[in-house]
């Protein structure tokens, strides 16, 4: 089986978030895809099920232990590879078909033959955290004194979003992963996304870590699927300001530095105050390894 290893949300091999990509998935059943993902051992492996040249690209995503509906960095990796191989253009608008639904994807040309992949991400409804913040911080190996009380702790989809005050507190967390899984699963919670507004780069708006033990991923280096909702959250709670007459706001976010895998994401929100139209996540990628996997 031909497989590619692609690092997403970076242009430097070895940084960002690594994904496996199988371009020719015809004939593979679900157990075979799961075995390939386990052997690849990236946080996610994407399987391309559409025909070359199709405007709609159909993907399935697997962690080493289970299938998931959507993965941001594996989508960036897949569209990067399709474009690099000449199966898609360097620029243009496409559709992603996946377990979570159908979403718009744009390839934006960059210098030296590269492209940035922009993804409209799933936006699950927000709700109050089903776990008290004292419990969440204890499970993360932190304390409630670390929490930024000017912003709410909310759940979106299978994640709890927790704002912290300082970058050093984000880095200091040492979750009890099995306990986190046991506490979250009765409420549909598979992980916790923590972020702060104290950043490493002056051009960034947030610095984050993402723990997803319920999906078999202790810590995901750079998470596209969480940053789309985060962009919406930042607008909803006044951190980012949309033009009164409507328009765009674009900012940069950072993740992965705490585990030596720094990646950078572009966030875009379109709309006007009180009427968001869409949130997108953008990122570049680099192909690291091309080879054969014996299955």
Say what the pLDDT of residue 113 is: 79
- What percent of the chain has a predicted confidence (pLDDT) above 90? 92
In this structure, what are the phi and psi dihedrals at residue 284, rounded to the nearest 5 degrees? -95, 175
Is 51 a residue whose pLDDT tops 80?
no
* Contact by Cβ (8 Å): 243, 231: no
Say what the pLDDT of residue 180 is: 97
Cβ neighbourhood burial of 59 (10 Å; 0-12, 13-18, 19+): buried
Is the domain of 251 the same as that of 116? no
Is the domain of 36 the same as that of 50? yes
Is the domain of 244 the same as that of 263? yes
What's the whole-number mean pLDDT along residues 216-228?
95
Integer distance in angstroms from the first to the last C-alpha of the chain?
Answer: 7
Say what the pLDDT of residue 98 is: 96
Say what the pLDDT of residue 54 is: 73
Dump pLDDT digits (tens) for 72-109.
999 999 999 999 999 998 999 999 999 999 999 999 99
Dump pLDDT digits (tens) for 162-190.
999 999 999 999 999 999 999 999 999 99
Is the domain of 111 the same as that of 161? no
Q: CA–CA separation, 106 vs 66, rounded Å? A: 28
Say what the pLDDT of residue 55 is: 75
Is the domain of 158 the same as that of 271? yes
Is the domain of 115 the same as that of 135? no
Number of domains in the chain: 2
Question: Average pLDDT over the chain, rounded to whole?
Answer: 95
Show the tokens assigned to 58.
């159909």
Using DSSP's 3-state secondary structure scheme, residue 139 falls into helix
Is 52 a residue whose pLDDT tops 80?
no
Is the domain of 111 the same as that of 204? no
Is 26 a residue whose pLDDT tops 70?
yes
Is the domain of 96 the same as that of 173? no
Is the domain of 108 the same as that of 165? no
Say what the pLDDT of residue 53 is: 66
Enumerate the H helices of the chain as residue ranges.
30-40, 72-84, 133-140, 167-172, 177-184, 224-236
- What percent of the chain has a predicted confidence (pLDDT) above 70? 99
Is the domain of 89 the same as that of 139? no
Say what the pLDDT of residue 295 is: 76
CATH number for the domain harbouring residue 109: 3.10.310.10
Global pTM value: 0.95
Say what the pLDDT of residue 170 is: 98
Cα angle value 173/230/137 (rounded, 5°): 25
Q: CA–CA separation, 140 vs 185, rounded Å? A: 16
Is 44 known to be catalytic? Answer: yes
Say what the pLDDT of residue 111 is: 86
Is the domain of 145 the same as that of 72? no
Say what the pLDDT of residue 97 is: 96
Q: Out of 44, 190, 254, 266, pick the active-site residue.
A: 44
Say what the pLDDT of residue 183 is: 98
Is the domain of 111 the same as that of 141? no
Host domain of residue 223: 126-278
Distance of CA 247 to the CA centre of its chain: 24
């Amino acid at each position: 089986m031909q497989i590619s290893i692609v690092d997403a949300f970076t242009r430097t091999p070895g940084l960002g978030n690594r994904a496996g990509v199988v371009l020719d998935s015809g004939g593979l059943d679900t157990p075979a895809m799961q075995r390939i993902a386990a052997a690849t051992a990236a946080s996610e492996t994407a399987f391309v099920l559409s025909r070359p040249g199709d405007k709609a690209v159909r993907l399935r995503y697997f962690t080493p232990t289970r299938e998931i509906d959507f993965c941001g960095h594996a989508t960036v990796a897949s569209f990067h590879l399709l474009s690099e191989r000449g199966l898609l253009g360097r620029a243009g608008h496409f559709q992603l078909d996946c377990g979570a639904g159908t979403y718009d994807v744009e390839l934006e040309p960059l210098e030296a033959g590269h492209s940035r992949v922009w993804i409209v991400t799933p936006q699950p409804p927000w709700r109050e955290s089903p776990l008290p913040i004292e419990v969440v911080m204890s499970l993360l190996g932190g304390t409630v004194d670390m929490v930024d009380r000017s912003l709410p702790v909310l759940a979106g989809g299978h994640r709890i979003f927790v704002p912290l005050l300082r970058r050093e507190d984000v880095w200091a967390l040492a979750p009890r992963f099995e306990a986190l899984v046991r506490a979250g699963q009765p409420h549909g919670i598979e992980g916790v996304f923590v972020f702060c507004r104290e950043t490493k780069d002056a051009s960034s708006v947030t610095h984050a870590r993402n723990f997803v033990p319920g999906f078999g991923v202790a810590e995901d280096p750079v998470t596209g699927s969480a940053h789309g909702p985060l962009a919406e959250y930042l607008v909803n709670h006044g951190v980012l300001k949309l033009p009164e007459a409507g328009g765009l706001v674009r900012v940069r976010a950072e993740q992965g530095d705490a585990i030596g895998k720094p990646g950078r994401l572009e966030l875009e929100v379109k709309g006007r105050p009180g009427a968001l139209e869409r949130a997108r996540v953008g990122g570049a990628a680099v192909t690291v390894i091309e080879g054969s996997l014996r299955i």
